[in-house]
Chain A
């Protein structure tokens, strides 16, 4: 199975923000609200991960959780690839 590393997902996340002339901070603790990364951006990132791996993510598997920081997003998507 193709799987993206945390660093690769981070690059994709930076791309999502860059397309909106925003920058992804290096700090994983950065708050999504402050950098302007919202649910539409999160969904786009998930689609980008799917397109890179050629595999569908199972969005239904994990329960909803609090995703507030850059690190939360990366952790969540790394984990989703294992579902």
Chain B
């Protein structure tokens, strides 16, 4: 184990091009260059206490190439912590007082330049995926100057996407919000001139639901969605609020990197993108309703075709990603229903701010489609029967959710996803 104390770039690690970009974090404005460089073990698993500590760890890595797994105290439980110590990392809780290290079970040599991500665990236990700053950097062309909102949990793939953009491209500034500031992000963003924001559909729905007027005051020119299936309703709602903005959705994961980027304001991607091989670009295929990606931005050891576990459906010339294979399909008395397709229909109802669709155990049919919704503030009078009728007009009979529960708040996890 070595300790890194130098503030100067390590030879072989040129200064990142975005070093003078502006960062706003915890209400304070500074630059990457002005961030303190913490003393970190190598390899280190850093559990950041807050957003600023996560940024300092990322900066430390960018300058020195320290082998780094970055996450937060909340995302790493005791079992994962033991696993990481076993894998030779010094687990370091980073807070205002500096690093608080726990020694690894067995010390090992560091792998310079290696970054580790913990996948969000929507498929079960989080697992480690190896990357480098280079494989995490997917935006390489020159970009117009932007001030980006970063609402993501530190160390997630989405967080690294925004962070590497700011580290590697001059003119890409960052405004980072802490989890406890999340509900109030539009006012923070408006105050700091945020004109680009990336979030999950749940994040955008929640923002629209809480205070669409406050959102409209953020001068957004770039809106990005990712991390969950993106439906037409949320794209249309954002378009109505920001007619001139570029609205993009991105399909990306720790395993295959950013593989699909769509700017035309439509859900899904054109079917003729399938099986198209272009050097340096991911190849997209469908096997047994599953999206398969062969990507140059893949994680370590994940070359070749990767089965993504995401279910797709081709509809009207577009390939729609409807949800996770293991949870999207509901078998209603032998008829297969895509929860994502039902969710898209429900989300298209003008009174619905958010929807979750699941299968519920039922007699005779085995399972039945049920839903939970959050209604928009002006539509609290909409009843279950009206929503059922809306679905019945648009879906096969067995796909219509018969029980629809109304929730008062959009549930959200630390990853900004709902369990949809």
Chain A interfacial positions (CB closer than 8 Å to B): 18-20, 39-40, 42-44, 46-48, 51, 56-57, 59, 80
The residue in chain A whose Cβ has the minimal distance to the Cβ of B365 is A43
Interface residues of B in 365-420 (CB under 8 A from A): 365, 368, 370, 384-385, 388-389, 392, 397-398, 402-403
Q: Can you give 12 contacting A-B residue pairs, CB < 8 Å?
A: A18-B385, A40-B332, A40-B397, A42-B364, A43-B364, A44-B402, A46-B363, A47-B360, A47-B368, A47-B402, A51-B403, A59-B362
Do A40 and B388 have beta carbons less than 8 Å apart?
no
Do B385 and A42 have beta carbons less than 8 Å apart?
no
Of the candidates A20, A48, A51, A59, which one forms a contact with B363 in the assembled complex, judged by CB atoms under 8 Å apart? A59
Closest CB in chain A relative to B115 CB, distance in Å? 46
Residue B361 is within 8 A (CB to CB) of chain A in the complex: yes
Q: Which residues of B contact A80 (CB under 8 A)?
A: 363
Q: Which residues of A contact B36 (CB under 8 A)?
A: none
The residue in chain B whose Cβ has the minimal distance to the Cβ of A60 is B363
Q: Provide the bound-state CA to CA distance between A42 and B368, in Å.
A: 11
Closest CB in chain A relative to B273 CB, distance in Å? 37
Q: Which residues of A contact B392 (CB under 8 A)?
A: 20
Q: Provide the bound-state CA to CA distance between A49 and B363, in Å.
A: 12
The residue in chain B whose Cβ has the minimal distance to the Cβ of A18 is B385
Residue B333 is within 8 A (CB to CB) of chain A in the complex: yes
Interface residues of B in 179-221 (CB under 8 A from A): none
Do B403 and A48 have beta carbons less than 8 Å apart?
yes
Closest CB in chain B relative to A30 CB, distance in Å? 19
Closest CB in chain A relative to B357 CB, distance in Å? 14
Do A44 and B368 have beta carbons less than 8 Å apart?
yes
Closest CB in chain A relative to B17 CB, distance in Å? 57
Do B365 and A40 have beta carbons less than 8 Å apart?
yes
> Could you say which interface size class chain B belongs to?
10 to 19
Do A43 and B363 have beta carbons less than 8 Å apart?
yes
Q: Provide the bound-state CA to CA distance between A42 and B384, in Å.
A: 18
Q: Secondary structure of the B side of the interface? A: mixed
Closest CB in chain B relative to A41 CB, distance in Å? 8
Q: Provide the bound-state CA to CA distance between A80 and B363, in Å.
A: 11
Q: Provide the bound-state CA to CA distance between A19 and B333, in Å.
A: 22
Q: Which residues of B contact A57 (CB under 8 A)?
A: 363
Residues A43 and B362 in contact in the complex (CB < 8 Å), given A48-B403, A51-B403:
yes
Q: Provide the bound-state CA to CA distance between A77 and B329, in Å.
A: 28
Q: Lowest 5 A-B CB distances belong to which pairs?
A: A44-B402, A43-B362, A59-B363, A19-B385, A39-B364
Closest CB in chain A relative to B373 CB, distance in Å? 15
Closest CB in chain A relative to B386 CB, distance in Å? 9
Do B388 and A19 have beta carbons less than 8 Å apart?
yes
The residue in chain B whose Cβ has the minimal distance to the Cβ of A58 is B363
Q: Which residues of A contact B365 (CB under 8 A)?
A: 39-40, 43
Q: Which residues of B contact A18 (CB under 8 A)?
A: 385
Q: Which residues of B contact A39 (CB under 8 A)?
A: 333, 364-365
Other A-B pairs beyond A47-B368, A59-B361, 12, CB < 8 Å: A19-B385, A39-B333, A39-B365, A40-B368, A40-B397, A43-B362, A44-B368, A44-B402, A47-B362, A47-B403, A59-B362, A59-B363
Q: Provide the bound-state CA to CA distance between A47 and B369, in Å.
A: 11
Of the candidates B333, B361, B389, B403, which one forms a contact with A44 in the assembled complex, judged by CB atoms under 8 Å apart? B403
Q: Provide the bound-state CA to CA distance between A56 and B363, in Å.
A: 11
Q: Provide the bound-state CA to CA distance between A65 and B181, in Å.
A: 57
Q: Provide the bound-state CA to CA distance between A69 and B384, in Å.
A: 27
